[in-house]
Amino acid sequence: MKRRSLFFVSPQHVEIREEQLPVPAAGQVLVQTIASSISAGTEMLIYRGQATDEADLAESNLSVQNPFQYPFKYGYSCIGRVVSLGPGVPAEWADKRVFSFHSHESHFLAGLEELIPLSDSMPIERSLFIPNMETAVNFLLDSRPVIGELAAVFGTGVVGLLTISLLSQFPLQMLAGIDRLEQRRTLALEAGAHRVFPPEDTTGELLTSILPSSEKGKSGFDLVFELSGSPYALNQAIAVTGFAGRVVIGSWYGEKTAKLELGGRFHRSRIHLLSSQVSTLTPGLAGRWNKSRRMAVALQQLPIIKPEKWITHRMKFNDVQAAYSILDKSPEEALQIVLFY
């Protein structure tokens, strides 16, 4: 049989191509895709030709082959239904709805270890947020929020909103959201942020003026997340972080760079910069936590937060070029785009 697959052909150019698909091998199943979601972060870097770290990308997504050697496939959130079983696969997998960290294509072969079985009671659109939710859970595992802390999130796209939603369940003294788009700042308030700001207002003088301080010069947030995808925001995140505070860097900047201001206040304030990436677990928790436990927490949070409310566009797979163009040219119009097959 043949499948239809999305290929990144060159910067700002994608195509749907037909490919021959073999029958499932031993231990494999054939999945027919129902829907997939487009990442406005990682996939936009790829779409714009700004991605780097090819080896790391291949390690984090088993469906990626020869990453960044055009043409290539990428994607990491697919919901589908098992339509054929290979030899040795238990019969209960037949017709099962599954999630996979897979690229955008109409059908795909997968080993059982690459699939997460889903209950038919979980809405399909909600299931598409599994990767983003797992990432947000990982941010909190890495940052370890403390009761009464002052926290801020730079970037209130889908991952930022999920992070705010999780943080809002902690007894924090202050939770702020920072984004350049007014619509997203409004969503941050709805997700549980106490205050929101545009990035041009996030100077140390402005934000620290609204925060308590026991000692002069040490005012600032205890915990700051940089999730905007803009390396320029990292300086702003550092500027509003208090003495010995933590800045969790969850953005992947690709080849984008910015000059960091690491003298003066940063040096004297003992600020901690923490890189957080979902492909691994923080070593401090690895003795008790594994990826399965983290995923279980993410799945438990989905029906609590109901992130499908943030879907702005539902488009046909055939219209995928238009979908990427919207995210690239009009990001203020699109928060989450979902493709249906």
| pLDDT per residue as tens, the chain (341 positions) | 899 999 999 999 999 999 999 999 999 999 999 999 999 988 998 999 888 755 555 455 545 555 567 899 999 999 999 999 999 999 999 999 999 999 999 999 999 999 999 999 999 999 999 999 999 999 999 999 999 999 999 999 999 999 999 999 999 999 999 999 999 999 999 999 999 999 988 776 777 777 776 565 568 999 999 999 888 899 999 989 999 999 999 988 877 787 888 887 788 889 999 999 999 999 999 999 999 999 999 999 999 999 999 999 999 999 999 999 999 999 899 999 999 99
* Phi and psi torsions of 314, nearest 5°: -120, 110
Query: Quick one: pLDDT at residue 262?
Result: 85
Regarding whether 145 and 112 lie in a shared domain, the answer is no
| Residue 127, domain member (yes or no) | no
Residue reference for tokens 């399965």: 292
> How many other C-beta atoms can be found within 10 angstroms of the C-beta atom of residue 294?
17
The CA-CA-CA angle for residues 70, 42, 156, to 5°, reads 160
Side chain identity, residue 141: L
Regarding whether 259 and 177 lie in a shared domain, the answer is yes
| Residue 126, domain member (yes or no) | no
- How far is the C-alpha of 194 from the C-alpha of 262, rounded, in Å? 29
Q: How many domains does the chain have?
A: 2
Regarding whether 236 and 137 lie in a shared domain, the answer is yes
Dihedral of the alpha carbons of 283, 289, 295, 301, in degrees to the nearest 10:
-100
- Do you find a cis peptide bond into 71, omega within 30 degrees of 0? yes
Q: Is 101 exposed, middle or buried (0-12, 13-18, 19+ CB in 10 A)?
A: buried
Does the pTM exceed 0.85?
Answer: yes
Which H or E run includes 262? none
| Residue 56, domain member (yes or no) | yes
Regarding whether 252 and 183 lie in a shared domain, the answer is yes
- How far is the C-alpha of 204 from the C-alpha of 131, rounded, in Å? 33
**What is the span of the domain harbouring residue 188?**
132-283
Query: Quick one: pLDDT at residue 67?
Result: 56
CATH code of the domain covering residue 60 = 3.90.180.10
Q: Which residues are paired to 103 by β-bridges?
A: none
Which H or E run includes 323? helix 320-329
* Phi and psi torsions of 329, nearest 5°: -95, -30
Regarding whether 276 and 165 lie in a shared domain, the answer is yes
Which H or E run includes 291? helix 291-305
Structure tokens at 47: 């779409």
| Residue 311, domain member (yes or no) | yes
Regarding whether 161 and 258 lie in a shared domain, the answer is yes
Regarding whether 69 and 48 lie in a shared domain, the answer is yes
| Residue 298, domain member (yes or no) | no
* Close Cβ partners of 60 (under 8 Å, ≥ 6 residues apart): 76, 278, 279
Query: Quick one: pLDDT at residue 50?
Result: 85
Comparing C-alpha atoms, which of 335, 324, 339, 336 is closest to residue 44?
A: 324
| Residue 289, domain member (yes or no) | no
Q: Is 216 exposed, middle or buried (0-12, 13-18, 19+ CB in 10 A)?
A: exposed
Cα distances (angstroms) measured from residue 217 to each of 198, 224, 264: 24, 18, 12
| Residue 93, domain member (yes or no) | yes
